[in-house]
Each structure stands twice: as structure tokens, then as C-alpha cells.
Amino acid sequence: DTEVTQTPKHLVMGMTNKKSLKCEQHMGHRAMYWYKQKAKKPPELMFVYSYEKLSINESVPSRFSPECPNSSLLNLHLHALQPEDSALYLCASSRQGAKYEQYFGPGTRLTVT
């Protein structure tokens, strides 16, 4: 099973809302990733968790707050977002790091109004 699941599939939120995106994998992978993708662009890395510890933050604004409660789950907490944060948010996992194959979830399409 090489499945990464993400919920919700779609999310519309106002600029004052707080919401969370969820990602789950049951492949025993120890590295998990959040990416942001704008239309007609490649995915852009936001955060990397390795063995449940944050190892890379690509200078992401603090209105995005990642959390890795256990080795199977990854959350992205959203607060006070801007309309330009509207994008497809992708979660991925790999066995132990970037040199291993990455598997992506279906994404959450976020619209900030």
C-alpha cells in the first residue's frame, strides 16, 4: 500500500478563520513533507519532518503551523491566512528522507476569501 491520504479535499476559509489540514500514511515512512502548489507551477516545499521532528522550514510565514503528532500523522494549522495563500496543499512521505522515493497525497485545494 503506497497511499497517502489528505483531508479535507477542498477548504474555503475566511481570513480570520482557524482551520487544519490533515495527512496520514501507514507505510511506516519516517519523513513527511508539506508542499504548496500554485497554478501552473511545480510544488514548492514548505516543511520537512524527519522522525517526527521538524528538520526543514523553508521560511514559511508563521500563519502556517505544522505539527507531527506521531509517525503516521501530519497536520498543518492555518490561521489568519491571506488570499494569496489560496493554493493546492500537498502532503508527501518517504521512507527516511529525500534520497528515497516520495509518495504524494491527493492534496487539499484551499481558497482564502
Which spans of this chain sit near another protein (rule: CB under 8 A)? 2, 31, 33, 37, 40-43, 45, 48, 50, 55-56, 88, 90, 92, 97-104, 106-107, 109
Closer residue to another protein, CB minimum distance, 15 or 54? 54
Closer residue to another protein, CB minimum distance, 6 or 81? 6
| Joined grid coordinates for residue 30 | 519516517
Beta strands 18-25 and 73-79 are antiparallel
Closer residue to another protein, CB minimum distance, 8 or 101? 101
Name which of 1, 45, 7, 53 is nearest 27 in CA terms: 1
Smallest separation (angstroms) from another protein to the CB of 104? 4
Name which of 28, 41, 49 is nearest 91 in CA terms: 49
